[in-house]
Structures are given as structure tokens and as C-alpha cells.
Amino acid sequence: MTSPAPTVLVFLDPAFENGRIADSSQPQLMATDLGATRGDGVFESLLAVQGRPRKVQAHLNRLSSSAAALDLVLPEQDAWRKAIDTAINEFRDVHPAPTPEEDEVVVKLIVTRGVEGAASPTCWVQASPSPAGSRRQRETGIDVVLLDRGFDTEAGERAPWLLLGAKTLSYAVNMAALRFAHKQGADDAIFTSTDGRVLEGPTSTVLLAHLETVDDGEGSVKTIRRLITPQHDSGILPGTSQGALFAAAKAAGWELGYGPLVPQDLFDADAVWLISSIRLIAPVNHINGKEIGTPSVRKQLTAELNELFAGIE
Ligand code: PLP
């Protein structure tokens, strides 16, 4: 059996301080693992750029809160950090990037409830190449369709067993939404709630920008720049990229806002983006076939946000 893509696996194993490297071309998981049989577990995806994993603490924090929502007990964060470093170093040794610009590694942290009947979870780190498609979409932008998620914004609170704010392994619904969008000729989707709010993408957070020109009363005009995202308590995953970008944007003088947003807010925006840890900041060109803002404003604001994001550790 051969591995379809160069992938490095590092299992968290108390007998190996820095994690146990495993051969990704060989079977490594028991067929009775509850991650495989029930999708019962949680995960994180983060990007390592030139060997440095980005926003590690934010991802470890979210992994902990997702695990807590599923009553899963995780290994210490230090064990994760060591396994992450092992995976990145091993990947870059085996598959050196041709240029520094291409030196991006996708790092996944995966936790399952473990083998049926076992007391401990199965945990591993996976390092693999960053998909060329996501890098391209940062440049070209994407076309998006709005899709009904089938829940209202209070479902998460009313029915916590839906695990709406946790990053669980059960991503089949999110992947089905992406395939549905592709069949409509779009690149991605934005979910809306049954009570008419904008939620998130299947693998990303929604951001929009509004520019407002105001007279300062002393004969000159200034532009107020506002960055807005849907409110976190609407049953969406709190994005680590959105959180980090908002902190950087605030320091750079942007005003920040947290929903609630309706689809018309997207159509009225000067720019809309889908943002996530691997693809980073993807400008949205069209939603349901309607152009968002203008190409020049989209380009300029995207360049500005990219610069802010580049400074994030
Ligand atoms: N929302 C969902 C449903 C996601 O799956 C993701 C990331 O995969 C995000 C938002 C963005 O989160 P982050 O910026 O932490 O990657």
C-alpha cells in the first residue's frame, strides 16, 4: 500500500516524549476506533510557515474547548506542542520546499474517543503539503453561494448535543455543502440560519468590510473602516484566524463589529472574505452571482488585511 500524498504522522504516546513517528503508508488505526466508526472526536487544522506553526496556543485552546464539549480528556498541551514540532521537522526534512514562499505545511491535530472499550483517546498530529488550490484562491478570490444550514441561531444553546460551536470530526455535512456549492459552479458556501442570519462557511469564518467617508467638521474627510463578523453565539465555530486578525486590525485603527448579519449586509459590503487557517484570507468576488464591491476596493482591502495577517505569530 502506498500513501496517496506525502504525509507525516506523529502519535501522542506517553512512551515517546516528542511523539511517535508512524508510517503513513501503513495501517495505523484500529478498525474499531470510534473516530472511524462514529466520527466521534475533535480536530484542529493549522498552518506552519517556514517551519513555524501559527497561532498554536489559539488552536490548542479551541481543541480543549471542543474536547470539553464532547467530555473527552486530552493529553497535556506540552505533549501536543512537542508532537507538532516533530511532525513539522520530519515533514520539512523529507519534503523540503522548493522556495521559501512555498514552505507551508498543513498540520492537523486529531483526537478520537479511542478504540471501542478503551479508556483513552487516540491522538495524533498529521503534517501534509498545503493544497495549491487554497493558495490560488487567496489570489484569485472565490465565488460563493448561500446555503441554508437548517438550524436557527439559538439551536446551539437550546440543544448543546448538536455540538455546533465545537470542531468535531463529523465534517461530512460540511463537505456535502461544499460539494453542493461546487455543483452550482461556486467555489464555496456561506451558511445562513433558518431565522435569516449569516453564519459561517463550511470551513471558514465570514468577514465583511464597510468603508464610510465622514466629514471631520474641520474641512477634511476621513474614511472609517469597519470589519464585521457574525456574532459568535449563533452556533458557529469561533475562528482563530478571525480572532487574530481582529486584534491586529484594531491596533491598525479599524473599527470592529460582531453581527448579527443578514444576507443583505453581505451584498451591501465593500468587501467580503472567507477566512481560515489554511487558505487564509480569500476575497469573495460574487455571492449567488452578484458582485460584491468592486475589484479595485476588494484588492486594496485584501492586501491590507494580508499585511496585517502576515504579522501574526
Ligand atoms: N468555521 C468552520 C466551520 C471551520 O471549519 C473553520 C476552520 O476550519 C473556521 C470557521 C475557521 O477557523 P480557523 O480560522 O480557526 O481556521
Report the mean per-residue pLDDT for the chain: 95
Q: State how far the Cα of 182 lies from the Cα of 145, in Å rounded to an integer.
A: 9
Cell of 235: 452556533
Say which residue the cell 498554536 belongs to: 56
Report yes or no: 228 and 246 within 8 Å, Cβ to Cβ: no
Report yes or no: 270 and 301 within 8 Å, Cβ to Cβ: yes
Q: What are phi and psi of 33, to 5 degrees?
A: -65, 130
- What pLDDT, on a 0 to 100 scale, did the predictor assign at position 257? 96
Query: Whole-model pTM?
Result: 0.95
Q: In sequence order, what are the residues at sequence separation of 6 or more whose Cβ sits closer than 8 angstroms to the Cβ of residue 76? A: none
**3-state DSSP percent of the chain in helix, strand and coil, to 5:** 35, 30, 35
Name the nearest CA neighbour of 160 among 260, 70, 100.
70
Per-residue b or e along 195-208, where b marks 16 or more CB atoms closer than 10 Å to that residue's CB: eebbbbbbbbbbbb
Cell of 104: 507551508
Residues paired with residue 43 on neighbouring β-strands, in sequence order: 110
pLDDT of 5 > 80? The answer is no
205 lines ligand 1 (CB under 6 A): yes
- What pLDDT, on a 0 to 100 scale, did the predictor assign at position 190? 98
- What pLDDT, on a 0 to 100 scale, did the predictor assign at position 69? 97
Quickly list H helices, the chain: 34-38, 56-69, 77-94, 132-140, 155-158, 172-183, 240-251, 263-268, 295-310
Q: State how far the Cα of 238 lies from the Cα of 122, in Å rounded to an integer.
A: 25
Percent of the chain with pLDDT over 90: 90
Say which residue the cell 470551513 belongs to: 203
Name the residue at shortest CA distance from atom 8 of ligand 1.
203
pLDDT of 124 > 50? The answer is yes
192 lines ligand 1 (CB under 6 A): no
229 lines ligand 1 (CB under 6 A): no
* 63 CB-side CA count, 13 A: 25
- What pLDDT, on a 0 to 100 scale, did the predictor assign at position 46? 98
- What pLDDT, on a 0 to 100 scale, did the predictor assign at position 43? 98
Rounded to the nearest whole angstrom, what is the distance from the C-alpha of residue 166 to the centroid of ligand 1? 10
SS3 sequence of 205-227: EEEEEEEEEEECCCCCEEEEEEE
Name the residue at shortest CA distance from atom 10 of ligand 1.
204
Name the nearest CA neighbour of 311 among 235, 228, 225, 251.
251
pLDDT of 240 > 80? The answer is yes
Q: What is the pLDDT of residues 160-219, one digit of tens each?
A: 999 999 999 999 999 999 999 999 999 999 999 999 999 999 999 999 999 999 887 888
pLDDT of 4 > 60? The answer is no
- What pLDDT, on a 0 to 100 scale, did the predictor assign at position 3? 45
Q: Which of 47, 203, 231, 279 to mutate to test the pocket of ligand 1 (most atoms within 8 A of CB)?
A: 203
Q: Would you say the C-alpha torsion 229, 201, 53, 299 has a positive or negative sign?
A: negative
Q: State how far the Cα of 189 lies from the Cα of 289, in Å rounded to an integer.
A: 12
Say which residue the cell 493549522 belongs to: 46
